[in-house]
Chains A and B, each alone.
Chain A
Amino acid sequence: MTITIQNQLSNGPAEDESDGQLLSRLHQGDNVSFEALFHRHYKRLYGLVFRLVGNRAEAEDIVQEVFIRLHQRPPNDAREEHNVSAWLYRVATNTAYNAVRSRNRLWQRNQHLVPEKIDGLAGPEKAAEQEEEAQLVRAALAKLSPMHGQLLLLRQLGLSYAELAEICDVNQNSVGKTLSRAAEAFREAYLRLNTEANTEVTIEDNAR
């Protein structure tokens, strides 16, 4: 029995070509190979970026930005030619991290403009709690190095150690150890932020 690995590109001459081959043709101005790379990586990149920014429009915009960069200045380092996915995921993660941190700064600066929650009118409580928890998880991720955040999210997305090694450009033998370190850093950041958030709530409650 022959096992065929399907990618998301349903047809077209580029279906069986490797990322490296597609990139070589992209360097020669071939738009079909660019489209093939887009279809191959779009959904997963979106999944990664969405988890970081938590907003569909922003995630779509960032993914487009990544492909615009690929189109305008495709990686030409000999090593990267064989690992386009590493380049794509790195740029996507960095761009998403920059967006999140920029947003956090803006939020901190304009916090006083946010109306206080009025007890009893907070809407569906469960949804609000979930959103709060998601924000906390994202804030903790933003405290990690982009590589650690990327590793954890891609693992959560279901990627294998081999795929993680390729995309994150780490030795396959050290993926497990690096993941453990990333998880530990996440736990620490999460616990710290959670404690800070609870302390703030207590202070606000006492002030009322």
Chain B
Amino acid sequence: MNEFDDVIAKLAILEPTEADQPQPAEAAFANLQQRLDQPVVEPQQIPWLRRFTLMTTQQKWVRAAVGSMLGLLIAFFGLTSSGQALASEFLGLFRVQKFAPISISPEAMANLENMDFEGLMPGEMVWDEEAVEPQPVASIDEAISLAPDALVFVPDLGEPTEIAVGGGGSGTLTVDLAAARAILNIAGVDGTLLPDDLDGADISVATEAGIFIQWDEGNTTMVQMPSPSVSYPGNFDPQPIGQALLQFLGMSESEAVRLSNSIDWTSTLILPVPTGVASFQEVLIWGNPGILMTANDGSGSSVIFETRGNVIMLQGDWSADELIALANG
């Protein structure tokens, strides 16, 4: 028996036994039909800007942070690392300081969503600590006690209707170059943009718990959290990876090359904004550059900025000027 046959023989132990046979297809389909008949809440019913804000409280935020930094790798992975690993094994470090919004087509947005939908990952992600869904707390003081570094300011909007603390997690993605390239190829992007030495590389991301507050006035939502950090092997050249990410998001090759060369990939978070859904512009908040996004359907505005090492996002049914004034405290 050669080595290949030996492997196939080993796999035979996984075959279902008599007791493991599935229910008959007809019964399985009836169960499936029952599940399909249950009413579902369409995520599209949530205005895009609100969805974006809520996303920042979830694990996707971690992935977005990573992605932004390491392009392709980025959006697809989430990551991780412990402090010791950070000190001893990694030389590169990403922290959010700036934002770069880019318009992406509905097709590219669908690529992003499908990736999540199909469970595609560019490697194996191991979480040292998984981000938790936001949990409600009774007061801002309690929120601060659970996430002491998260809150920089609280806008004067009266008594909040909801306060929650969540997120915070760390993990490491070990890149599987073949899988990462396959993801790019599915989107019609040349997978060989990713350098060979990426294979097996460990990329880590760490986020701390954030605070989520909601008010009735202006249907306002705010998220504040310490900037996520991403550490990666110091010999990484983020430019080609960033280029791959931008092309994955629908940019032409020439545009992606130009932009990826001008972006500081050690501190810039990419914000994908679906074309026709929202417009965006750069604004100054607390003296730092931020991005204001205004929904085209009039469902409100959203601003995201960084200050004192924290990322802050504020969203509500406000005009652009009102929201900027609110964000400036």
Contact = CB atoms under 8 A, between A and B. Distances in A.
A105 B126 contact: yes
A145 B32 contact: no
Contacts of A143: 124
A20 interface: no
Contacts of A183: 3-4, 7-8
Given A46-B22, A60-B28, 5 more contacts: A35-B29, A47-B16, A50-B14, A91-B119, A179-B4
B118 A38 contact: no
Interface in A111-163: 130, 133-134, 137-138, 141, 143, 145-147, 152-153, 155-156
Interface in B28-44: 28-29, 31-32, 35-36, 40
Interface stretch (B175-183, B219-227, B232-240, B309-317): B175-183
B178 A186 contact: no
A51 B14 contact: yes
B23 interface: yes
A187 B176 contact: no
Contacts of A51: 11, 14-16
Interface of A: 8, 35, 38-39, 42-43, 46-47, 50-52, 54, 56, 59-60, 63-64, 67-69, 71-73, 77, 90-91, 94-95, 97-98, 101, 105, 130, 133-134, 137-138, 141, 143, 145-147, 152-153, 155-156, 179-180, 183-184, 186-187, 190
Given A64-B35, A71-B36, A138 B20 contact: no
Contacts of A67: 32
A208 to B, nearest CB: 29
Contact of B118 (A42, A43, A94, A147): A94
Given A38-B29, A146-B179, A133 B13 contact: yes
B121 interface: yes
Contacts of B130: 105
B22 A60 contact: yes
Contacts of B121: 94, 98, 146
Secondary structure of the A contact surface, majority rule: helix
Contacts of B10: 137, 186, 190
B23 A91 contact: no
Nearest to B10: A137
A146 B15 CA distance: 18
A83 to B, nearest CB: 12
Contacts of B176: 145
B12 interface: yes
B127 interface: yes
Nearest to B14: A51
Given A155-B8, A183-B7, A64 B118 contact: no
A38 B11 contact: no
Contacts of A180: 4
A73 B20 CA distance: 30
Contact of B25 (A8, A68, A95, A133): A8
24 contacts: A39-B25, A42-B25, A47-B15, A47-B16, A50-B14, A50-B20, A56-B19, A59-B22, A60-B22, A60-B23, A64-B31, A64-B35, A69-B118, A73-B114, A77-B186, A94-B118, A94-B121, A98-B121, A101-B125, A134-B13, A137-B11, A138-B14, A145-B179, A190-B10
Interface string B107-118: 000000010011
B55 interface: no
A35 B278 CA distance: 39
Contacts of B28: 38, 42, 60, 63-64
Contacts of B85: none
B32 A73 contact: no
A46 B8 CA distance: 18
